[in-house]
């Protein structure tokens, strides 16, 4: 059997995230059904991570095993003619038999997009977080520095998560302003549930003077979710890259 | 009575253009209904132009007469809380009693957006024309020069239009490439029906070597629609600015 990996781009607006669910349409389900149409085989696709409802992907990685004889480089063309227009297979790779999109991942990069204008942009309403209040981007950049490195990110995890090891290593965290758009990019060896969105929400609170920059190390140490900022909305979040 | 003008931004994806129609939802209808909700008055809104189904606007101008006492600068806030998220009132102005958004217009500027990649971008599928074939942008720029100035644009008008005077003055026409995105901007004293989309389609044909650059003056002179390129799809088109 061949082991095929896909790099996907998807607009998460209409999906209840990646992972198959009983009563909601997910990217995994749509992709598995389309693979079945194209190859004639019912297969289970392994995703690099769950993503939440409304979250987008620019470089989602998944893999599946198949006996299909479709040449690897023809898979994107074969799938894309059958997939809905909000999911694209950008590339296909033949990978080693033991490659597993989730277990083999060494880390990921996410982007969070903020539009800082009085009224939301009609074109970005599903593709960014609209923030109508003043933002001091220099403060956000300063705060970002405190997240870099190995820390216990318990305070930046959705309450109710059952993960025990809450230490993660943030490789990089940048905040850049382009006209009215603020782009945050974060890469780490792994992420706790809602970690990127809570860090984004905390940076928004820092930029809006609701949290003091110098309180960030304290919030990290204390490990108390209620001290951090809001969970910024899903539609601003993009999975950009998965490291292997 | 006060005469109020609005500058609107809208995502045309879900609308059958600007103008009220019996069996389809249009921007005009939604705006008039929302003004009625906010002011309690049924009013007719005058638009600067019809736009086609799927066409977007960054700076659409319209006006209406009202006895409402809502302060002019509060209108955007009052309307935006009631409007669907794909229409925003960006600004409101109190204008002279005889101001008419269509008759007073001295010209307009449109943008046409092309994404030149193998597979379409899921995020731009409703906001750009996807062109998967090679494009020589230098040839497109050369061709663009021939459209500038006063010409009879009969060859660049949808067949079946009944307009008699087909002479228009194109003030500027630029073609710029940013990574995989090609942006065409055109401003003129007026536009024939589908003129921007047919010029865009003709430039795409020039870039793809289906029409020779040097044939453009000939096509303009001949005035034969069949010699020009395709009508490029509506979703790539944006009304950017209206001149008064």
The ipTM, to two decimals, is: 0.91
Point out the residue among A10, A76, A123 whose CB comes nearest to the CB of B122: A10
Tens of pLDDT, residues B43-66: 999 999 999 999 999 999 999 999
**Residue A238: per-residue pLDDT:** 98
Tens of pLDDT, residues B88-98: 999 999 999 99
Q: Which residue of A has its CA nearest to B79?
A: A119
Point out the residue among A10, A89, A122 whose CB comes nearest to the CB of B85: A122
Task: Give Cα B225 distance to the centre of its chain.
Answer: 20
Question: Residues of CATH 3.30.70.660 domain(s) within chain A?
Answer: 107-243
Best probe of the A interface among B13, B122, B128, B240, by most A CBs < 10 A, is B122
Tens of pLDDT, residues A133-149: 999 999 999 999 999 99
Q: What's the CATH architecture for A107-243? A: 2-Layer Sandwich (3.30)
Q: Is there a contact between A154 and A223 (Cβ–Cβ < 8 Å)?
A: yes
User: pLDDT above 90 covers what percent of chain B?
Assistant: 98
**Residue A162: per-residue pLDDT:** 85
**Residue A55: per-residue pLDDT:** 98
Nearest to A110 by CA among A47, A60, A51, A185: A185
Whole-angstrom CA distances from B169 to A233, A238, B172, B191 are: 46, 44, 9, 9
**Contact (CB<8Å) B119/A85:** no
- Report the alpha-carbon distance of residue A221 to residue A205 in Å, rounded: 18
**Residue B161: per-residue pLDDT:** 86
Best probe of the A interface among B10, B123, B126, by most A CBs < 10 A, is B123
**Residue A152: per-residue pLDDT:** 97
A130 in contact with B, Cβ within 8 Å: no
Mean pLDDT, chain B, whole residue set: 97
Q: What's the CATH architecture for A2-95? A: 2-Layer Sandwich (3.30)
Strand locations in chain A, DSSP E? 2-10, 46-47, 56-66, 87-95, 107-115, 129-130, 149-152, 167-178, 181-188, 237-243
Point out the residue among A90, A120, A127 whose CB comes nearest to the CB of B119: A90
Predicted confidence (pLDDT) at residue B162 exceeds the cutoff of 90: no
Query: Considering only CB atoms, which chain A residues are within 8 Å of B85?
Result: 120, 122, 125
User: pLDDT above 70 covers what percent of chain B?
Assistant: 100
Contacts of B243 (CB under 8 A, 6+ apart): B105, B106, B107, B108, B109, B187
Point out the residue among A76, A86, A121 whose CB comes nearest to the CB of B122: A86
Confidence of residue B160 (pLDDT cuts 50, 70, 90): confident
Predicted confidence (pLDDT) at residue B102 exceeds the cutoff of 90: yes
Confidence of residue A172 (pLDDT cuts 50, 70, 90): very high
Q: How far is A174 from chain B (nearest CA, A)?
A: 22
Q: How far is B153 from chain A (nearest CA, A)?
A: 31
**Contact (CB<8Å) B123/A88:** no
Q: How far is B123 from chain A (nearest CA, A)?
A: 6
Tens of pLDDT, residues A94-129: 999 999 999 999 999 999 999 999 999 999 999 999
Q: Which residue of A has its CA nearest to B88?
A: A122
**Residue A161: per-residue pLDDT:** 86
Confidence of residue A160 (pLDDT cuts 50, 70, 90): confident
Residues of B taking part in catalysis: 52
A119 in contact with B, Cβ within 8 Å: yes
Contacts of B44 (CB under 8 A, 6+ apart): B32, B64
Question: Residues of CATH 3.30.70.580 domain(s) within chain B?
Answer: 2-95
């Amino acid at each position: 059997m061949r082991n095929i990996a896909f790099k996907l781009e998807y607009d998460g607006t209409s999906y209840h995230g990646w992972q198959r669910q009983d009563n909601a349409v997910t990217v995994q389900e749509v992709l598995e059904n389309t693979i079945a149409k194209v190859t004639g085989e019912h297969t289970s696709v392994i995703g690099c991570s769950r993503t939440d409802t409304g979250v987008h992907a620019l470089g989602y990685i998944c893999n599946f095993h198949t006996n299909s004889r479709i040449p690897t480089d023809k898979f994107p063309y074969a799938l894309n003619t059958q997939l809905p227009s909000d999911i694209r297979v950008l590339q296909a790779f033949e990978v080693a038999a033991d490659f597993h999109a989730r277990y083999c991942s060494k880390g990921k990069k996410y982007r969070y997009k903020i539009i800082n204008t009085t009224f939301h942009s009609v074109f970005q309403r599903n593709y960014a977080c609209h923030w109508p209040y003043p933002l001091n981007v220099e403060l956000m950049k300063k705060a970002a520095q405190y997240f870099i490195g190995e820390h216990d990110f318990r305070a930046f995890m959705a309450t109710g998560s059952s993960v025990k090891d809450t230490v993660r290593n943030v490789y990089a965290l940048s905040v850049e302003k382009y006209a009215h758009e603020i782009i945050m990019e974060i890469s780490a060896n792994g992420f706790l549930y809602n970690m990127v969105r809570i860090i984004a929400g905390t940076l928004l609170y820092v930029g809006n003077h609701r949290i003091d920059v110098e309180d960030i190390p304290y919030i990290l140490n204390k490990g108390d979710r209620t001290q951090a900022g809001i969970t910024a909305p899903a539609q601003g979040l993009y999975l950009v890259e998965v490291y292997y």
